[in-house]
Structure 1
Amino acid sequence: MQFEITKEYIEKIQQLITEGKNETLQHLLEEVHYADVAELITELETDEAIYLIKLLENDVSSDVIAELDEDDRENILKGLSSKEIAEELDELDTDDAADIIGELSEKQKEEVIAHLDDVEHAKEIVELLRYDEDTAGGLMAKELVKVNENWNVLTCVKEMRAQAEEVTRVHSIYVVDDNDILKGRLSLKDLLTTSTRSPITDVFIKNVDSVNVHEAADEVAKIMQKYDLEAIPVVDEIGRLVGRITIDDIVDVIKEEAEKDYQMAAGISKDVEADDTILELTKARLPWLVLALFGGFVSVSILGGFSEAMDNYPVLFFFTPLIAAMAGNVGVQSSAIIVQGLANDSLRGSLFKRLIKEVLQSLLNGFVLAALLMSAGMFFLGFQFKVGLTVAISLISVIIIASIIGTFVPIILDKRGIDPALATGPFITTSNDIFGILIYFLIAKLILGF
């Protein structure tokens, strides 16, 4: 049964903190998963959260701190001394510890690192801090199990037992040479079913997927997704094994990318949260709103250029929002499919074939929608055949153009190294609104002759 944090539970914890009943608190939380404790902490006042962190055992509180989002963690760490932070980090894997230290000021980084008890642990954290956080090096952990290709099975088992004490989860056993060059991986099943005297060279699997320390995080995610990997080794420029990336880190990358793309598609240019300041939220939203305002101004200017059509055929005015909306909707649909394909690395085939496919499906959609619109307009609104024909042809044309724009703008942006998610938001909607209105009145002028 899933643990649930209720209002009553939170009030009970707060009361125990106020009364200083530490033993009761410890007993109440000892069976609670650290992720649930982290959720609980986000519901408490900062001083209460810090009190709880200091009360918990370091092996639990360190996991809780790592589980918190950056803003909550920042508030907690402000209430802890450099020595207290170091005590928490001593219990964490190097990748989590490096992530937390990376959020501190330069001065506090040095103080925390100086207070770390395990010198080797400190060295590994410092090494990880050298890598960009959006690369394989920034994601990897130094904790792993590796064996030498020159050992036999018995020696490997002895070494693995010693190494596994420092590793939270053993996903894979990696094989290296005397220079730590990655040679392959070892199957636990093969290890258990092979004679203890057998050399590892007869057992290990030589083909192993790996990534370079400088590989982009999103590329690592694609590789692990493609090959269904729970962990992947990381090598340096000369092929030496330097760390591993596990699936939990990749899930975080995928989540962050999805959130960023979602915000970008909604016209938010920066990574923001709902509880950010008004100024931060305004800075994130305003650029795209300015673009939408500019697009609206262009649309109004186009309408002004066809004032004669309004005088002679005022019914055209009532269909202007419909045409513009359909253009924006179709463009967003097309761009969303392409952006998804680019993100999943599943977009293949020639551009010409994709163009033909988009035109054909747009024609089909356009004819169906135009027939419905023309029929409804003539039977229920009673407008002339020429007006109905104008609206119908305009709708088909707009759908085709919007579909092509929505398909190829993300591809062009991607080829130029720009995030294609830009094409799923106000950019594509605004541009298609403008094209839609322009095409609508050009076709109307051609058919109606004003």
Structure 2
Amino acid sequence: MEEHDDNIQFKISDELIENVEQLIESKDDANILDLLNDYHHADIAEILEETDINNATYVIKLLDSEKTSEVLMELDEDTREKILDTLSAKEIAEEIGELDTDDAVDMISELSDDRQLLVINHIEDQEHAQHIKDLLRYDDNIAGSLMAKELVKVNENWTVTRCVKEMRAQAEEVTRVHSIYVVDDNQKLIGRLSLKDLLIASPRAHISEVYIPKVDYVYDSEDVEEVANIMQKYDLEAIPVVDKNHILLGRITIDDIVDVIREEAEKDYQLAAGITRDVEADDSIWKLTIARLPWLLIGMFGGLGAASIINSFSGAMGDYIILLSFVPLIQATAGNVGVQSSAIVVQGLANNTMDSNLFRQLFKEFTLGLVNGLAIALIALCVTHFAFGTPYKVSITIGLALIAVIVMAALIGTFIPIILDKRGIDPAVATGPFITTSNDVFGILIYFVIAKAMLGF
């Protein structure tokens, strides 16, 4: 058996994959189990990702249900979907029965509606099945879709002795106990319980005498991004979820929020790069084309607009045709400044660190743009005049245009994301091609307007 040290980070190797595949081919089940027994379920998932779907399915069916369910949740969504297609409804139900309700819902939601019903009907634990049905009713991107039903809750009227007994029974169904929640007789959340306070309290004392009334919570209809912000702000590992009547429904744990943050970051990154849909590197050419083409078309029309502006001024330039040589400088500077400004604003909006006063933020960016513009314009003036031999008047024109373009780009890069956010549109769409293209067009227009005013052509 390959040695595995828990203190050494797992590293996959060709030798390991080859070993696993050979054992599968020879159907040496005992040695397969012996080999994989010491590996974490995330490591096993990584191994299965590197082999073909038939081998992965073989291993999944070989492992016990408890470990299999954990491995399945670690697999890439596409790989998991392919494996689930090879399993019967009863086999899937066995795996789902080992999962917490939030993970169970994540897995079962990948199935068709008809197959979901078949799987749920095969789940032996009826309460678990009902919880899954309840959670499946929630739309994506709200708190209810992330929560797990498994938690530890106690009644305010219980004695400490009964509380400990009830907690022991409930804890058997909970993978990790982050908090102990206190409810009243109507199951309304009224507070939380400190384990320290519970341990030092008299066995005959009632929970109402020792619980902490202050408890952070979210409503089941809350947006998942808002939940992520709350948990991040208050450094919470878990947060209870209540309905509009304040009845305790479940809890959301940090692992689910990390997934939300990662998915949102990926989406914003793609939007900033001009990709309008959630895509992966291994998606079809058609899907990737549909995701990228709209923004490329915007860029194309923006380029045509800039070209038409240049064309309209080119005939009147006369002796100042050299101005065309500096068009790339103007465009690159405008695009870079706009993307920088919008990226900072989008980040501030996502982290709730943005100044709520729009005019104050615009003035700040105006000042910053002016400082940067003066510095860049001075350098450009010296380089164009002394290094390139450009006429002094033309160099001054380029410098003034750079100042104006940088200030304009900074304001556009700040203003557009804020306005989009206020209108409920993801501000990430403002970065990348959108800002770059708009600043290219306006930058060229400002450049030639200033040039015409300065040089009189």
* TM-score normalised per structure 2: 0.97
Asked if structure 1 preserves the Cα contact closer than 8 Å seen for 2:93 and 2:120, the reply is yes
Asked if structure 2 preserves the Cα contact closer than 8 Å seen for 1:309 and 1:445, the reply is no
Residue of structure 2 aligned with 1:117, choices 102, 124, 128 = 124
Asked if structure 2 preserves the Cα contact closer than 8 Å seen for 1:146 and 1:175, the reply is yes
* 1-structure distance, mates of 2:193, 2:19: 50
> Is residue 2:56 matched to residue 1:67?
no
* 1-structure distance, mates of 2:337, 2:329: 12
> Is residue 2:232 matched to residue 1:225?
yes
* 2-structure distance, mates of 1:429, 1:69: 34
* Displacement of 1:189: 1.4
* 2-structure distance, mates of 1:155, 1:348: 50
* 1-structure distance, mates of 2:161, 2:455: 89
* 1-structure distance, mates of 2:46, 2:210: 45
> Is residue 2:208 matched to residue 1:205?
no
* 1-structure distance, mates of 2:317, 2:362: 35
Asked if structure 1 preserves the Cα contact closer than 8 Å seen for 2:314 and 2:321, the reply is no
Alignment of 1:311-390 (within 5 A): 311-390=318-397
* 1-structure distance, mates of 2:356, 2:36: 55
> Is residue 2:91 matched to residue 1:78?
no
The one-letter amino acid of 2:276's match is S
Asked if structure 1 preserves the Cα contact closer than 8 Å seen for 2:180 and 2:194, the reply is yes
* 1-structure distance, mates of 2:100, 2:406: 53
* Displacement of 1:283: 0.6
The answer for the alignment partner of 1:307 in structure 2 is 314
Residue of structure 2 aligned with 1:269, choices 257, 266, 276 = 276
The answer for the alignment partner of 1:407 in structure 2 is 414
Residue of structure 2 aligned with 1:98, choices 100, 105, 108 = 105
Asked if structure 2 preserves the Cα contact closer than 8 Å seen for 1:265 and 1:423, the reply is yes
Further displaced range: 306-315 or 1-10: 306-315
The one-letter amino acid of 1:244's match is R
* Displacement of 1:241: 0.2
* 1-structure distance, mates of 2:316, 2:145: 61
Residue of structure 2 aligned with 1:141, choices 148, 170, 181 = 148
- SS in structure 2 opposite 1:314? helix
RMSD: 0.8
* Displacement of 1:414: 0.5
Runs of 4+ in 1 over 3 A off after TM superposition: none
The answer for the alignment partner of 1:42 in structure 2 is 49
- SS in structure 2 opposite 1:234? strand
Further displaced range: 43-52 or 309-318: 309-318
Further displaced range: 374-383 or 395-404: 374-383
Asked if structure 2 preserves the Cα contact closer than 8 Å seen for 1:310 and 1:317, the reply is no
Residue of structure 2 aligned with 1:192, choices 193, 199, 207 = 199
The one-letter amino acid of 1:91's match is E
Q: Deviations over 1:34-62 (max 9, x none)?
A: 01111111111000000000011110000
Q: Deviations over 1:168-189 (max 9, x none)?
A: 0000000000110000000111
Alignment of 1:116-195 (within 5 A): 116-195=123-202
* 2-structure distance, mates of 1:144, 1:199: 21
* 2-structure distance, mates of 1:304, 1:315: 14
Q: Deviations over 1:388-437 (max 9, x none)?
A: 01000000000000000000100000111111000112111100000000
* 2-structure distance, mates of 1:39, 1:131: 31
Q: Deviations over 1:335-356 (max 9, x none)?
A: 0000001111111242222122
* Displacement of 1:309: 4.7
Alignment of 1:390-429 (within 5 A): 390-429=397-436
Alignment: residue pair count: 450
Where structure 1 has 5 or more consecutive residues not aligned to the other structure, the ranges are none
The answer for the alignment partner of 2:251 in structure 1 is 244
- SS in structure 1 opposite 2:315? helix
- SS in structure 1 opposite 2:349? helix
Q: Deviations over 1:288-326 (max 9, x none)?
A: 001111101111111111113544212111110110110
> Is residue 2:293 matched to residue 1:286?
yes
- SS in structure 2 opposite 1:174? strand
Q: Deviations over 1:184-206 (max 9, x none)?
A: 00011111122222211121110
* TM-score normalised per structure 1: 0.99
Where structure 2 has 5 or more consecutive residues not aligned to the other structure, the ranges are 1-7
